[in-house]
Structure 1
Amino acid sequence: MSEQLNYERRRLLTTAAISIAVGPFIMAGSASAHSGRESQTTSSTFSQEPISSFDVLKQIDAGVLTIGYAELGPNDGIPVLLLHGWPYGIHSFVDVAPMLVARGCRVIVPYLRGHGTTRFLRSETPRSGQQASLGADIIALMDALKISRAVLAGYDWGGRAACVVAALWPERCMGLVSVNSYLIQDIAKATLPLPALIEAGFWYQYYFLTERGRAGLTANRRDIARLMWTRNSPNWRFTDTEFDRSATAFDNPDYVEVVIHSYRHRLGFTDGYLMYQDIEKQLALQPVITVPSITLDGDADGVVPATDGKAMAGKFSGWRQHRVIPNAGHNLPQENPAAFTDAVWELASKQQ
């Protein structure tokens, strides 16, 4: 109880500090077509005010992708990668990013494969959505940006990508923030029954196993996403503007193929691709995460019910703290940005 009270006091103090912060600012880069190198920033507009959108994006070739991303903050700041889930986009972090920038962080917010302005460089590259591909994409992005180490923070698909990197490339990860704890999938156990409450939250995964599900996602990607948002976060009263701002991420030409492959592979109904075979073999061993970690649960998560974190304790061998965030659902960084920011900053500040 005392630990929770101390955490709440820290959260209130840091939130208050942000509101009067001066110093490090937000810097947005310009968008450009991919060219095999980082796009050059042509705007140096700085602001301490909250932002309403990541209006200006950069683009960089990284691995098999050209990745669209927002970059904010000083180049010499502590690198933080914020990784979104499905069916969401980079605007899950539209409030988190400026709060981290106010503390001096360099914040990178990429669109995951199949989302937003991220594209495959070659038409013949498999449109994989398997967990190994997500982790490999983050390493490729860090290499392209010449970031040797960063704090990785995410939820859902983004949390899984962060967990993969933290487990297999711990030397690249300063710290991990993961919503719903350890998210590396155990494909061998994918067909085992889960508790009824969890099975109900995963309805969409079984739907996507069918060709009807593929057709439904193709024709109704925004309607399905809106339904998911509502069910995933029953206490979150998001606006049409907030939804529409994120929904542009679903217009990506590879969105359906990546999503369908992700869930069919997760449940063992389709194979992974050869190019990710070695990574998947390592993930099948359920590797322990050794880096400092903070795991979060929203106590109103409509997909994964909140826990006390003890069930996953064996998956972390380094320092770890688990927090349950009141009234938050599955899109925790957008629903309670202060709590998410506090977790990220607690790990980032240890690097100073």
Structure 2
Amino acid sequence: MIDRRTFGKVLGVGTGAAAASLAGVPGVATAEPGNGRGGAPAAAVPTLPAVVPGTHTTFPPLKRVTAGLLDIGYAELGPRHGPVVILLHGWPYDIHSFVDVAPLLAAEGYRVIVPYLRGHGTTRFLSARTFRNAQQSAIALDIIALMDALRIDQAVLAGFDWGSRTADIIAALWPERVKALVSVSGYLITNLAANLKPLPAKAEYAWWYQYYFSTERGRLAMADPDERRDLCRLVWDVVSPTWGFDDATFARTATAFENPDYAAIVIHNYRWRLSLADGERRYDGLEQRLAARPAIGVPTVTLDAERDPFTPAPGDGSSYRALFTGPYAHRLLTGIGHNVPQEAPTAFAQAVVDADHL
């Protein structure tokens, strides 16, 4: 386990039950259900009650814990000694992406942890001298450090966007810490060399803000509170074209953008992905391992959202299927956009339960 004293050492490490449980959930197509671990018959999987998106708007009072380089703010729901689920948000979102998912899982007996990623919400760096680094391995180590600080040996990890990438990395490099995985958009581990190659024009168009952030104008927009808010709201509209969220829903998340390190973290993340900003040498060993596209062998459910512009056509998971080598199921969520857990909380929560039973 990693605590602050041993943190640097890690950096030097150079259709069965799954389908049946979603029967009747609108907009969900299933494929490749698991049949139980080790070839054993699958245990009965609970079917979660449907929840209308937006039913919940708040979390219990947030908690904080010192973990690695950060003081991490997080929400916690469910029994203290229940099996742990860690829910990981993306950009430009925050923990409220899981505001309806977390109560569903807590009611099922899970201990649900929903942390703010570095640069978001109430999470803070412990030192003003720490480089505001948002490369993928650094964010993944934040979650390992969080698990250590909370004395969590193993958890189900579930996320989307940055959260999917983070969960994928932990499952690939530290599989002993991951009981099961739910990953929206499948395998999102970044390969810097591959990112230097052009994508089809339609895919490049969807990534407009990534290129905007590579400019000084984009950096200034993220540093300005009003410009930042308008930009993030536009991204919500574009990548979730069928989600009828209201102003209050966006406003609850937008408070997370007021973190003093938010602009620096967002800009570095997207510039690093395009090799326009350096990471830190202490993470080089981990990045080299990730560049080899390590397979993920933990039980996994992948989700593709039909209306998400980043979902590869035809959304059947075939583009990344070979990289998941353990028990596996895939679902396509029709009519759903990028913010899957907030747009389709029942389907997302059910995927967590199903992954835990693969």
TM over 0.5: yes
Alignment partner of 1:249 is 2:256: yes
**Cα distance between partner residues in 1 of 2:106 and 2:318:** 32
Q: How does 1:331-350 map to 2 (within 5 A)?
A: 331-349=339-357
In the alignment, is the contact (CA less than 8 A) between 1:163 and 1:183 conserved in 2? yes
Q: Distance in 1 between matches of 2:177 and 2:18?
A: 30
Q: Is 1:283 equivalent to 2:280 in the alignment?
A: no
Structure 2: distance between partners of 1:79 and 1:298: 25
The question of whether the paired residues in 2 share the 8 Å contact of 1:151 and 1:174 is answered with yes
Q: Which residue does the alignment assign to 2:38?
A: none
1:123-272 equivalence runs, <5 A:
123-219=128-224, 220-272=227-279
TM-score, L = length of structure 1: 0.87
User: For the Cα contact (< 8 Å) 1:57–1:70, is it kept in 2?
Assistant: yes
So what's the TM-score if we normalise by structure 2? 0.85
Say which is worse superposed, 322-331 or 50-59, in terms of deviation: 50-59
* Selected match of 1:108 from 97, 113, 120: 113
Distance 1:163 1:130 in 2: 14
Q: Secondary structure at the match of 1:190?
A: helix
Cα distance change on mapping 1:278 and 1:4 into 2, 3 Å: closer
| CA distance in 1 between partners of 2:98 and 2:140 (Å) | 19
Contact 1:292 1:318 in 2 (8 A): yes
Distance 1:4 1:137 in 2: 31
Task: String of CA shifts for 1:78-134, please: whole Å, max 9, x gaps.
Answer: 100000000000000000000001100000000000000000000111101110111
**How far does residue 14 in structure 1 lie from its aligned partner after superposition?**
2.4
CA distance in 2, matches of 1:274, 1:91: 33
Q: CA RMSD in A?
A: 2.1
* 1:83 and 1:153 in contact (8 A); partners too: yes
CA 1:242–1:18 in structure 2 vs 1: closer, same or farther (change >3 Å)? closer
Contact map agreement 2:185 2:311 (CA 8 A) in 1: yes
Using a 3 Å threshold, how does the CA distance of structure 1 residues 132 and 5 change in structure 2: closer, same or farther?
A: closer
**Contact persistence 2:22–2:350 (CA under 8 A):** no
Match of 1:328 in 2: 336
Q: Is the 8 A contact 1:11 1:342 kept in 2?
A: no
**Contact kept? 2:119, 2:261, Cα under 8 Å:** yes
Q: Deviations over 1:287-313 (max 9, x none)?
A: 110101000011010333452111111
Structure 2 residue runs of 5 or longer lacking an equivalent are 1-14, 27-45
The one-letter code sitting in structure 1 at the alignment partner of 2:249 is E
* 8 A Cα contact 2:85 2:112, kept in partner: yes
State the identity as a percent.
53
Secondary structure in 2 aligned to 1:151? Answer: strand
In 2, distance between residues paired with 1:289 and 1:130? 20
Q: 1:6 to 1:129 in 2, by over 3 A?
A: same
Question: How far off is 1:51 after superposition?
Answer: 3.4
